[in-house]
Amino acid sequence: MAASTSLATPVLVIGHRGASGYRPEHTRAAYELAIALGADAIEPDIVATKDGELVLRHENEISGTTDVAAHPEFAHLRTTKTIDGERLTGWFTEDFAWAELATLRARERIPELRQHSATFDGVEPMLRLRDLIDILEAAGRPMTLVAEVKHATHFASVGLPLDELVAAELARWRDPARLVVESFERGVLHRLRDRGLDARYVYLIEGRGRAADGAVPYDEEVAGDLRTLDVDGISVDGRRLLRFPDLPRRAHDAGMLAYVWTLRPENRFLPKRFRGPGSPADWGGWRAAFGAAVATGVDGVFVDHPDLGRAVVDDPAAARTL
């Protein structure tokens, strides 16, 4: 893997799908707002179309984040598939050509919690990875790209090898020191490395279960010597960090990076002790919760609201131990 694990900032503030707490995720507005709010990095989720374009969506099933259901010309593409062991019904990017997806418009994924963001429904089109690279190059300051490769095993099974497609697209990225590639599947990270893509490779680790290409549960993978994972870093669910706050130290002892995902201010997403009064959509004790995560020594925090992450990272006094 990469020779060095040092990044440009002590703790990277990573705009998770852009500023997805304020605008529908993976839209130009979300990405540009994240940059304006002080994010050091932008994290897109990468899936593919049937003609091999890399598009930016949280999942390849797009009924929850686009207006595809309102397009009668695509009604025949609604289907049921099993993706990484989960049976889903909807519309899937690999059944569309890019020209078809370009006619859709983005929607807020969780409108019951983010009503303000939902007021932007129907405004923004979907984007490709190449479009985001253009946005970052025009940012006016150096930005890190944290590219998440989604459902690599599934896409390979339908003839769309994401390692090949992603390596070709990211070959145009000009600063390898500011490129991180991550996935919940280590296999695709290793294949990208073998293709010569110069990046830091980070293994995403769920709070439970196992990887789609994994033989053992995540719990077992992180219990032993982390160096056996053969990656440059790990990125853990905040629930796992709460249970095992020594993970960042263990990662650093192994010469690896440690990130945490995803810090959000709404009561619904906060650990119980940080929740405040009001509804699940109301913001609770986010500053203390974010500070607790930073205090574990992580190298980067994924946030839906980059200004909140920036506020805590830039104010060490806000950090609290778990």
pLDDT at 4 over 70: no
Half-sphere exposure of 99 (CA within 13 A, CB side): 1
What does the pLDDT read at residue 320?
Answer: 55
Q: Is residue 121, in this structure, part of any structural domain at all?
A: no
CATH number of the domain residue 259 falls in? 3.20.20.190
What does the pLDDT read at residue 57?
Answer: 98
| Per-residue DSSP letter, 75 | G
162's tokens:
């994401």
| Structural domain span for residue 147 | 12-62+126-318
Q: Is residue 43, in this structure, part of any structural domain at all?
A: yes
Q: Is residue 255, in this structure, part of any structural domain at all?
A: yes
Q: Is residue 184, in this structure, part of any structural domain at all?
A: yes
Q: Is residue 29, in this structure, part of any structural domain at all?
A: yes
DSSP codes, 156-176? HHTT--HHHHHHHHHTT-S-G
pLDDT band at 318 (very low <50, low <70, confident <90, very high): low
pLDDT digits (tens, 9 = 90+) for 199-228: 999 999 998 899 999 989 999 999 999 999
Mean pLDDT of the chain: 94
H/E element, 218: helix 218-223
pTM of the model: 0.94
Could you list the beta-strand ranges (E) of the chain: 12-16, 41-43, 45-48, 54-56, 79-83, 86-90, 144-149, 179-183, 200-205, 233-237, 257-263, 300-303
pLDDT band at 156 (very low <50, low <70, confident <90, very high): very high
Q: Is residue 78, in this structure, part of any structural domain at all?
A: no
What does the pLDDT read at residue 8?
Answer: 41
Q: Is residue 300, in this structure, part of any structural domain at all?
A: yes
The domain total for the chain is 1
Q: Is residue 210, in this structure, part of any structural domain at all?
A: yes
